[in-house]
Amino acid sequence: MYAIDLHNIRKVYKGGVEALKGISLQVQEGDFYALLGPNGAGKSTTIGIISSLVNKSAGQVSVFGYDLDTQLELAKSQIGLVPQEFNFNQFEAPLQILVNQAGYYGVKRKEAFIRAEKYLKQLDLWDKRAEPSRELSGGMKRRLMIARALMHEPRLLILDEPTAGVDIEMRRSMWKFLQKLNAQGVTIILTTHYLEEAEMLCRNIGIIDKGNLVENTSMKKLLARLDSEIFILDIDPPAQLPSSDRFKITQLDERTLEVEVNKRQSLNTVFAELSAQAIRVNSLRNKANRLEELFIELVEKGNIHDK
Amino acid sequence: MINSAYLIALKSIWIKEISRFLRIWIQTLVPPVITMSLYFVIFGNLIGSRIGEMSGFSYMSFIVPGLIMMSVITNSYSNVASSFFSAKFQRNVEELLVAPVPNYIIIWGYVGGGVVRGLMVGFMVTCVSLFFVDLQIFNLFVLVLSVICTAILFSIGGLLNAIFARTFDDISIIPTFVLTPLTYLGGVFYSISLLPDFWQGVSHFNPVFYMINAFRYGFLGIADVSLVWSFTVIGLFIVLLYGLVLLLLRKGVGIRT
């Protein structure tokens, strides 16, 4: 079953700006799906339409088979939304926010308190449950919105840049939390600017650019399209400049080399060649995130194909 | 979603709304009581004692129902207007919009909060009035019905204001330029029978006049127009404004892009 089935969605804002130009997209139940795209590409509009915060101009949306036009309330009850901007009452305490939110979904107050305690503890917010939420840190506010979205135990969780402005330690603990949720069967759709995040978490990926869906494929297939990868090698200072007929080698400074290796070549060959030239490699790392390279290739260089 | 779930949602909005105005009681409950106490002292005691009787009652007894009603109108209106606009401003109205809550539940949720605040303030003002006048109740049913209907009507009015409001200024314009004149000219301080014929006619276009009229009847048993006509007008305004607000929410005016 599709968790989300978008068919030919269009959105024209007042003033004539066409934010979405007929997007069709399906996300399988249980998937961890990344929706990427540059700023203003239409990601948040797409999420807004799915969660019924934005009125679509045309097209059909169904959530777990419930049509947004004819079965709105059933469709809404399947979704938990974590928006990009903080959108809770800054004067209310986290516990109050969560319990009320559960109430809007018909969860009885007694059960709502039990769930609120569970999620506040899981997301490390229990100690802050009675403080005005405006006093929480940025990371805590993001986690509060995740807890709020889970209060009615949705089958689909949509996160619009959930880790924006969150430090790396906190980001990693949020990733772990989301992976656990996904393993429990919750379908997750994520938009993010941290492509490392998408590569690490998501199985499938869609890329939106200028209101069009320019990619919709599995992460593996997309990454397999990379022809080459660039590695940075830390070396002992060589006696002479290393060279190779098979690899493109650039010496960045006395102790650093940049080596481009294509898909058909192996790193063993690189090491063998450098060893033959008496160059000792101390460590190695990727120059950039692989998905980032593809993303830039697809979007910025205009090497895209409309579907 | 079955009906019991709607009731839980409605109760949640009420709890949220009532806790909101109780949390800031110093801004929401105390000022109207102080203002009305001043009205009682100045208009009722000091000036009223020189005015003499109005419609067969002491001036103080005459204005007390109007002043209570005035505080109910102002507080039920401003509670919903400021709460819903704040929810739009902070975007926490989205909590309701993404949830499977029908628009009519959202309306009655906010209206419920406004009604409770209006009635609570009205009750407190009534208690203060006991220091100045021996209140009599002529018809409790009419009194309760009129005050509840008025609180409902002006709560819906406040919601309508908040739906259209884009800035905090927008939620103070209507109370200042429309609500206050209508209330003052609705017969709080005088019987419209004192007015020349023309202005008596004009007063009949003022909905607040019918509310004060019915409420005063509940206390004193006197009315400038018939009760049936008063409740018909109030009922019509409730239906009209409710229908309008429901339509606006369905279209997403002011809340959805």
pLDDT band at A303 (very low <50, low <70, confident <90, very high): very low
Q: Please name the member of B2, B91, B257 whose beta carbon is closest to the beta carbon of A54.
A: B257
Query: Would you call B91 an interface residue with chain A, using a CB distance cutoff of 8 Å?
Result: yes
Please check the confidence at residue B40 and state whether its pLDDT lies above 90.
no
Please check the confidence at residue A224 and state whether its pLDDT lies above 90.
no
| H or E element that contains A85 | none
B158/B110 Cα distance (integer angstroms): 10
CB-CB under 8 Å, A105 with B99: yes
List chain B residues with CB under 8 Å of A90. 90
Question: What does the pLDDT average to over A201-230?
Answer: 83
The more confidently predicted of residues A306 and B245 is: B245
Nearest-by-CA chain B residue for A103: B9
pLDDT band at A259 (very low <50, low <70, confident <90, very high): confident
Smallest CA–CA distance, residue B204 to chain A, in Å, is 41
CB-CB under 8 Å, A77 with B98: no
CB-CB under 8 Å, A48 with B8: no
Tens of pLDDT, residue by residue over A33-91, are 999 888 888 899 999 999 999 999 999 999 999 999 999 999 999 999 999 889 999 99
In this predicted structure, what is the pLDDT of residue A305? 44
Question: What does the pLDDT average to over B191-214?
Answer: 87
Please check the confidence at residue B65 and state whether its pLDDT lies above 70.
yes
Which CB contacts under 8 angstroms, 24+ apart, belong to B233-239? B233/B207, B234/B146, B234/B149, B234/B150, B234/B153, B234/B207, B234/B210, B235/B149, B237/B153, B237/B207, B238/B149, B238/B152, B238/B153, B238/B156
Question: What does the pLDDT average to over B16-45?
Answer: 90
Smallest CA–CA distance, residue B178 to chain A, in Å, is 30
Which residue of A104, A145, A150 is the best one to mutate when testing the B interface, meaning the one whose CB has the most B CBs within 10 A?
A: A104
Query: Would you call B4 an interface residue with chain A, using a CB distance cutoff of 8 Å?
Result: yes
Mean pLDDT of chain B: 90
Q: Please name the member of B8, B92, B94 whose beta carbon is closest to the beta carbon of A103.
A: B8
Q: Which of A244, A248, A232 is nearest to A275 (CA)?
A: A244
Please check the confidence at residue B180 and state whether its pLDDT lies above 50.
yes
Please check the confidence at residue A306 and state whether its pLDDT lies above 70.
no
List chain A residues with CB under 8 Å of B9. 103-106
Query: Would you call B101 an interface residue with chain A, using a CB distance cutoff of 8 Å?
Result: yes
Which residue of B4, B7, B92 is the best one to mutate when testing the A interface, meaning the one whose CB has the most A CBs within 10 A?
A: B92
In this predicted structure, what is the pLDDT of residue B61? 87
Mean pLDDT of chain A: 87
A180/A133 Cα distance (integer angstroms): 26
The more confidently predicted of residues B257 and A11 is: A11
- Pure H helices in B90-193: 94-97, 103-129, 140-164, 170-174, 180-184
CB-CB under 8 Å, A101 with B99: yes
CB-CB under 8 Å, A52 with B91: no
Nearest-by-CA chain B residue for A45: B257
CA distance readout (Å), B177 to A200, B155, B172: 58, 17, 9
* Centroid of chain to Cα A82: 12
| H or E element that contains B10 | helix B3-23
Smallest CA–CA distance, residue B6 to chain A, in Å, is 6
If DSSP codes are grouped into helix, strand and coil, which group holds residue B58?
A: strand
In this predicted structure, what is the pLDDT of residue A304? 46
Tokens of A78: 């399947």
Nearest-by-CA chain B residue for A12: B257
Indicate the range of A116-130, B39-53, B198-212 predicted with least confidence. Answer: B39-53
CA distance from start to end of chain B: 25
Tens of pLDDT, residue by residue over B91-108, are 999 999 999 999 999 999
**Domains in chain A, start-ordered, CATH in brackets?**
228-296 (3.30.70.1560)
Domain spans in chain B, listed from the N-terminal domain onward:
3-47+55-251
Question: What does the pLDDT average to over A106-110?
Answer: 94
CB-CB under 8 Å, A13 with B1: no
Nearest-by-CA chain B residue for A99: B12
List chain A residues with CB under 8 Å of B14. none
Question: What does the pLDDT average to over B5-27?
Answer: 94
CB-CB under 8 Å, A104 with B13: yes
Please check the confidence at residue B2 and state whether its pLDDT lies above 60.
no
CA distance readout (Å), B52 to B40, B59, B200, B212: 15, 6, 22, 21
* Centroid of chain to Cα A221: 17
CA atoms within 13 A on the CB side of A20: 28
Pair B217, B142: CB distance under 8 Å = yes
| Backbone phi and psi for residue B108, each to the nearest 5 degrees, phi listed first | -70, -25
Share of chain A above pLDDT 90, in %: 51
Please check the confidence at residue A289 and state whether its pLDDT lies above 70.
no
Pair A284, A233: CB distance under 8 Å = yes
| H or E element that contains A106 | none
Pair B159, B111: CB distance under 8 Å = yes
In this predicted structure, what is the pLDDT of residue A302? 53
List chain A residues with CB under 8 Å of B8. 103, 106-109
Please check the confidence at residue A206 and state whether its pLDDT lies above 80.
yes
Instruction: Kindly give, in sequence order, each residue whose CB lies less than 8 Å from that of residue A60, ignoring residues fewer than 6 positions away.
Output: A5, A6, A7, A8, A9, A67, A68, A69
CB-CB under 8 Å, B252 with A100: no
Query: Would you call B249 an interface residue with chain A, using a CB distance cutoff of 8 Å?
Result: no
Tokens of A220: 């593996």
The one-letter amino acid code at A67 reads D
In this predicted structure, what is the pLDDT of residue A301? 56
Tokens of A146: 């995740």
